[in-house]
């Protein structure tokens, strides 16, 4: 039997998939299919606020049925394999779907195996993450319950979505500890895999100053190699593979992690992954078109775009893919994605800065004035309260250009 065929089939109904499906329909695409297994849609950026005690899961969840655009054919299923030569995807439920163009945006997932002991540690009350909805509320229980001892915050740079936002729970918690009078009794260690706390030198400087103000001990270029949940220790090494220079083991009373991520395994088994990338889709970072299968496209956290993945990056990627699919069909020139990305990082429970930059790490501010790299109350209010409304009412409806 011939499988049902879509003009464009989108895999993954998260930030990228829903925004793109809506944008394609607005552009006149006659037939868009969407494969998404989850009945619930999450606005992920608020997870950092959940872990920092400034939001609840109810603030960030909506039924998926409410966000799938009218006119899009939603298949509530999971893709388990792609046959790019036959232009067919295989579904977990046993079905198949055919396509003219395929867009992959199933996101990335926590790579528990990258840090032995981490999964077991996160099942105890002493370790948690904001990167999974089922863990984020417990992160705040753990951080707010700490009144003395050592809190260790670990931020990986291995494909972590919008990795600098892993610092939000640290600054929200440190401000809480200060206001409850226990900051002096809590030792705070920050372990960051990259050389900076955010993508630009200016933002790095601001964040280091804020960390210094709370007495945080910052180690950059340092990796959490493994965790011993029974002993409550985290073992460190330097990112270049040698032992960490100043003591390789830290004990913890609370361990917060922004853990390494990897792509879904079926990307690799379908022959669509770039070599040496933990299975991320091998697209041209400029056009977002697959390098060897020109009817396959990818964007969002699963794509190799040579820049830090973020929801803000999708504001630029979605219009590029929505333009390039029909342009490729008629042989018109393709548009380019410049690598823009952004990380909004709180420095307290009232202020936030924006680190916006391009693929080369050059600052790329949305507006030239005022200076958005300086922590501001207005930016905090925008990120916590206005941006979610922009997400639900504009981005998911394809109103990005």
| Binding piece for ligand FAD, criterion CB under 6 A, among 36-44, 178-186, 229-237, 268-276 | 36-44
Beta strands 222-228 and 233-238: pairing type?
antiparallel
CB of 45 to ligand FAD, least distance (A): 3
CB of 332 to ligand FAD, least distance (A): 26
Query: Is 44 one of the binding residues for ligand FAD (CB under 6 A)?
Result: yes
Q: What is the SS3 assignment for 353?
A: strand
Distance between terminal CA atoms of the chain? Answer: 40
Query: Is 260 one of the binding residues for ligand FAD (CB under 6 A)?
Result: no
DSSP string, 216-282: PEEE-SEEEEEEETTTTEEEEEETTSSBPTT-SEEE-SEEEEE--EE--HHHHHTT-BPTTTTS-B-
How far apart are alpha carbons 10 and 324 in whole angstroms?
14
Beta strands 217-219 and 233-238: pairing type?
unpaired
CB of 147 to ligand FAD, least distance (A): 25
Write the CB contacts of 216 (distance below 8 Å, at least 6 apart in sequence).
Answer: 170, 174, 188, 189, 190
Interface with ligand FAD (CB under 6 A), residue from 24, 35, 114, 224: 35
Write the CB contacts of 369 (distance below 8 Å, at least 6 apart in sequence).
Answer: none
Q: What are phi and psi of 248, to 5 degrees?
A: -100, -5
Of 124, 357, 161, residue with least CA distance to 253: 124
Query: Is 14 one of the binding residues for ligand FAD (CB under 6 A)?
Result: yes
Per-residue string for binding with ligand FAD, 89-128, x by CB under 6 A? Answer: ----------------xxx---------------------
Query: Is 34 one of the binding residues for ligand FAD (CB under 6 A)?
Result: no
Locate tokens 């809590």: which residue?
186
Interface with ligand FAD (CB under 6 A), residue from 8, 9, 10, 15: 15
DSSP string, 185-219: GEEEEEEESSSSSSSSHHHHHHHHHHHHHTTPEEE
How far apart are alpha carbons 175 and 361 in whole angstroms?
29
CB nearer to ligand FAD: pick between 81 and 182: 81
Per-residue string for binding with ligand FAD, 131-170, x by CB under 6 A? Answer: x-----------------------------xx--x-----
Query: Is 244 one of the binding residues for ligand FAD (CB under 6 A)?
Result: no
CB of 308 to ligand FAD, least distance (A): 9
CB nearer to ligand FAD: pick between 128 and 310: 310
CB of 306 to ligand FAD, least distance (A): 15
Query: Is 16 one of the binding residues for ligand FAD (CB under 6 A)?
Result: yes
CB of 260 to ligand FAD, least distance (A): 13
CB nearer to ligand FAD: pick between 211 and 258: 258
CB nearer to ligand FAD: pick between 184 and 265: 265
Distance of CA 281 to the CA centre of its chain: 16
CB nearer to ligand FAD: pick between 233 and 356: 356
Site for ligand FAD in 60-79 (CB under 6 A): 78-79
Of 294, 314, 320, residue with least CA distance to 302: 314
Site for ligand FAD in 289-348 (CB under 6 A): 300-302, 309-312, 342, 344
Q: What is the SS3 assignment for 363?
A: strand
# residues near ligand FAD by CB under 6 A? 35
> Which residue is closest to ligand FAD by CB?
14
Interface with ligand FAD (CB under 6 A), residue from 29, 33, 36, 87: 36
Please give the structure tokens belonging to residue 79.
């893709």
| Residues within the interface to ligand FAD (CB under 6 A) | 11-17, 35-38, 44-45, 47-48, 78-79, 105-107, 130-131, 161-162, 165, 264, 300-302, 309-312, 342, 344
């Amino acid at each position: 039997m011939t499988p049902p065929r879509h003009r464009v089939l989108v895999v993954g109904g998260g930030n990228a998939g829903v925004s793109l499906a809506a944008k394609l329909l607005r552009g006149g695409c006659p037939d868009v299919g969407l494969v998404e297994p989850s009945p619930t849609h999450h606005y992920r950026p608020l997870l950092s606020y959940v872990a920092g005690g400034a939001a609840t899961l109810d603030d960030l969840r909506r039924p998926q049925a409410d966000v799938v655009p009218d006119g899009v054919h939603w298949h509530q299923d999971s893709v388990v394999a792609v046959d790019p030569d036959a232009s067919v995807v295989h579904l977990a439920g046993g079905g198949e779907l055919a396509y003219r163009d395929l867009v992959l945006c199933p996101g990335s997932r926590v790579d528990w195996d990258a840090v032995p002991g981490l999964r077991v540690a996160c099942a105890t009350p002493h370790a948690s993450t904001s990167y999974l909805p089922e863990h984020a509320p417990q992160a705040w229980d753990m951080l707010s319950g700490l009144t003395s001892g050592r809190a260790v915050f670990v931020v990986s740079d291995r494909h972590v979505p919008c990795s600098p936002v892993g610092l939000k729970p640290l600054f929200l918690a440190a401000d809480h500890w200060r206001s409850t009078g226990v900051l002096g009794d809590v030792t705070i260690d920050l372990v960051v895999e990259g050389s900076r706390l955010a993508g630009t030198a200016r933002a790095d400087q601001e964040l280091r100053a804020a960390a210094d103000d709370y007495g945080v001990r910052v180690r950059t270029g340092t990796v959490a190699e493994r965790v011993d949940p029974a002993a409550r220790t985290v073992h460190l090494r330097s990112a270049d593979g040698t032992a960490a220079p100043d003591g390789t083991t830290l004990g913890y009373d609370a361990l917060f992690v922004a853990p390494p991520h990897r792509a879904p395994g079926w990307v690799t088994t379908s022959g669509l992954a770039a070599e040496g990338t933990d299975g991320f889709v091998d697209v041209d970072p400029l056009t977002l078109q697959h390098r060897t299968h020109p009817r396959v496209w990818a964007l969002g956290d699963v794509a190799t775009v040579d820049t830090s993945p973020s929801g803000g990056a999708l504001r630029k990627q979605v219009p590029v893919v929505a333009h390039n699919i029909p342009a490729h069909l008629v042989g018109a020139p393709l548009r380019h994605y410049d690598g823009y990305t952004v990380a909004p990082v709180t420095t307290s429970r009232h202020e936030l800065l924006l680190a916006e930059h391009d693929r080369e790490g050059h600052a790329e501010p949305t507006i030239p004035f005022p200076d958005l790299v300086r922590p501001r109350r207005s930016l905090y209010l925008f990120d916590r309260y206005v941006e979610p409304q922009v997400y639900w009412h504009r981005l998911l409806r394809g109103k990005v250009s």
